[in-house]
Chain A
Amino acid sequence: MTATLSPAALEGLLQRAREARDPSLLVAAIPYAQFLGLEIELEGDGVRGRLRYDESLIGDATIPALHGGTIAALLESTAILDVLWREEDEIVLPRTITFTIDYLRSGRPVDTLCRASIVRQGKRVVVVSVSAFQEADESRPIATAVVHLLVARDTSDAD
């Protein structure tokens, strides 16, 4: 593992990604995003997540349906990256406090898209609502989630 992501490095990376208007530079630094096939695209003032379909994402081969954990990862990652992308004064990598997901439909073996919306922006805690859908049909989400993210710079309460 050669990549590092200190606060200064994170700020530099975010600045480069914003200048290039290309949030995918952020996930290029995350090994798990590469493992999962997670992509991040610019949308309006924020970002949109995409889970590129691959057979290794299947959780139930008989239907077949995506593994619930992969859908959770898409929702949580999109929430984190949307909040990070919109940060203004202090740049802090948001950390998940709670993550609550409702599974509404089985995930078919195609790409899944995800959109985030910030419900409340606080100084320390941000509440984000995220929704995952397929084939551009936002009216029929396959899962929705609420994510509480910690954006406080102080890491002394890390454990």
Chain B
Amino acid sequence: MTLDVPPDQKAQVCAVMTHGMQARIPHNRALGLEVIDYAASEVWMRLPYDAKLVGNPATGVLHGGAISSLMDAACGFATMIALGGPSPIATLDLRIDYLKPAIPGGDVIAHAHCFKITRHVCFVRGTAYVHDANDPIASVAATFARKARKPKKDGSP
């Protein structure tokens, strides 16, 4: 899949990415995660607000677990974009700083950027926000291990 498309076709590419991701990753489908934008080694992913994901019924604020899943998914997706497509990776570690509670009723957007790739490890950082990218609710740092692909029998890459 080429990512270098005219701006008017980007929405279609995002729809294809969302479809593929939800087909491969059942929990991302259960959460309703969507790819809404991307760049060379970055992704923007949306967690639609849903009452079933609420952690505190008094406030309607989403549970931190749903934010963790969104962040893990977005960081992994940014890594795959940086690696040039679906790749076998495993999360090594993930740190989330909660800066403020999510705004009840609002979708949460995660922005993740895979800023460094080495032979064995990929480094990612990102933020989550509701309405304003400059006023994030959480920040994240994660590392992923690149897992070796099993060689194909015919020797092709």
B1-54 CB contacts (< 8 Å) to partner A: 24-30, 51-54
Q: Is A138 located at the chain interface by the 8 A CB criterion?
A: no
Main secondary structure of the interface of A (DSSP, over half): mixed
Q: Is B97 located at the chain interface by the 8 A CB criterion?
A: yes
Q: Which residues of B contact A57 (CB under 8 A)?
A: 26-27, 30
Alpha-carbon distance A6/B100, docked complex (angstroms): 19
Interface size class of A (residues with CB under 8 A): 35 or more
B58 with A6: CB separation less than 8 A: yes
Q: Is A92 located at the chain interface by the 8 A CB criterion?
A: no
Q: Is B85 located at the chain interface by the 8 A CB criterion?
A: no
A101 with B98: CB separation less than 8 A: no
With A60-B25, A106-B90 given, is the CB distance from A35 to B52 under 8 Å?
yes
Q: Is B133 located at the chain interface by the 8 A CB criterion?
A: no
Q: Which residues of A contact B96 (CB under 8 A)?
A: 96, 98-100
Q: How far is the CB of B88 from chain A (nearest CB, A)?
A: 8
Q: Is A20 located at the chain interface by the 8 A CB criterion?
A: no
Q: Which residues of B contact A72 (CB under 8 A)?
A: 65, 68-69, 72, 94
Interface size class of B (residues with CB under 8 A): 35 or more
Q: Is A29 located at the chain interface by the 8 A CB criterion?
A: yes
A158 with B100: CB separation less than 8 A: yes
With A31-B57, A35-B52, A77-B65 given, is the CB distance from A70 to B95 under 8 Å?
no
Query: Which of the residues A5, A31, A34, A96 comes within 8 Å of B64, measured between beta carbons?
Result: A96
Known: A69-B68, A98-B98. 14 other contacts (CB 8 A): A30-B55, A30-B63, A31-B51, A31-B63, A32-B53, A32-B63, A56-B26, A56-B29, A60-B24, A60-B25, A67-B73, A69-B70, A96-B64, A98-B95
The 6 closest A-B pairs by CB, nearest first: A69-B69, A73-B65, A32-B63, A67-B27, A72-B68, A5-B58
